[in-house]
Amino acid sequence: MIVEVLYFAEFKDITGKEKEKFELSNYQLKFLIELLITKYKLPLKNLLWDNNTQNVSNLISVIINNQAVIQKNPLLAEINDGDVIAFLLPVSGG
């Protein structure tokens, strides 16, 4: 299965890309996140991951096909072939 990840803000700065495709053999978001952390190491992990909860940081919104993942454990969210995933930081302004 192939999914596309869109990068914005600091995610784009860390990866140096606007988007990227990954081939996955598992249908849970957890495995995509593990792949991203393995590829982009500590800078991405520090942005995306909360070591205390061992889960996606509660500051990050996970979006799959333009729909926010709203569940207690986003790691268990199912992803499918052709899905587009984005991780968004809170919007700040002034």
Which overall architecture, per CATH, does domain 2-88 show?
Roll (3.10)
Count other C-beta atoms under 10 Å from residue 16's C-beta: 9
Does residue 17 have a pLDDT over 80?
yes
What are the Cα distances from residue 43, in Å, to 24, 26, 27, 36? 22, 24, 25, 11
Examine the pLDDT at 91 and tell me if it is beyond 80. no
Token pair listed for 19:
């988007």
Residue 38 has pLDDT above 60, yes or no: yes
- Residue 93: per-residue pLDDT: 56
Taking the C-alpha atoms of residue 34 and residue 39, their distance in angstroms, rounded to an integer, is: 9
Parse the chain into domains and list their residue ranges.
2-88
| Each residue's pLDDT tens digit, 47-90 | 999 999 999 999 999 999 999 999 888 999 999 999 999 999 88
28-47 mean pLDDT: 95
Please state whether the predicted TM-score (pTM) of the whole model is above 0.85.
yes
**Residue-wise pLDDT tens digits, 41-59:** 999 999 999 999 999 999 9
Q: How far apart are CA 42 and CA 2, in angstroms?
A: 24
Return phi, psi of residue 69, to 5°.
-80, 115
